[in-house]
Amino acid sequence: MASPHVEGFNKDALTMSTSPDNNYGSKDYITVLQDNGAKDMVWYYSIVLVDFSELTDLTAGSQVVSATCTAQQSSGILENNIWTVGWYRARGPYDTPPVADWGESTVTHNNMPGFDISVFSEFRDPYDDFFINGGLTVWDIKAMIVDAVDNRHNIWNARLMNLGSKIGGIMQQSYWSREGTVPPYITITYTVGGAVTKTRVMVF
Tens-binned pLDDT, residue by residue, of the chain (204 aa): 333 333 347 999 999 999 999 999 999 999 998 876 655 678 899 999 999 988 888 988 789 999 999 999 998 776 666 788 999 999 999 888 899 999 999 999 999 999 999 999 999 988 889 888 999 999 999 999 999 999 998 999 999 998 876 655 678 899 999 999 999 999 999 998 777 899 999 888
Instruction: Tell me phi and psi for residue 151, to 5 degrees.
Output: -130, -15
Cα(175)–Cα(32) distance, integer angstroms: 9
Domain membership flag for residue 194: no
Work out the burial of residue 176: count CB atoms within 10 Å of its CB; fewer than 13 is exposed, 13-18 middle, 19 or more buried. buried
| Residue 142, C-beta contacts closer than 8 angstroms, at least 6 positions apart | 64, 66, 67, 68
Q: CB–CB of 85/32 below 8 Å?
A: yes
pLDDT on residue 36: 66
Domain membership flag for residue 190: no
Please count the structural domains in the chain: 1
Domain membership flag for residue 200: no
Domain membership flag for residue 124: yes
Of 48, 102, 88, the closest CA to residue 71 belongs to 48
Instruction: Tell me phi and psi for residue 148, to 5 degrees.
Output: -65, -40
**Domain extent at residue 156:** 11-56+73-181
Cα(139)–Cα(125) distance, integer angstroms: 10
pLDDT on residue 4: 38
Domain membership flag for residue 1: no
Q: CB–CB of 199/188 below 8 Å?
A: yes
- Please list the helix, strand and coil fractions of the chain in percent, rounded to the nearest 5, in that order: 10, 45, 45
Domain membership flag for residue 92: yes
Domain membership flag for residue 114: yes
| Torsion sign, CA atoms 57, 60, 63, 69 | positive
Cα(157)–Cα(145) distance, integer angstroms: 10
Region of 135 on the Ramachandran plot (φ > 0 left; ψ -120 to 50 alpha; else beta): left
Domain membership flag for residue 113: yes
Count Cβ atoms below 10 Å from residue 14 Cβ, excluding itself.
25
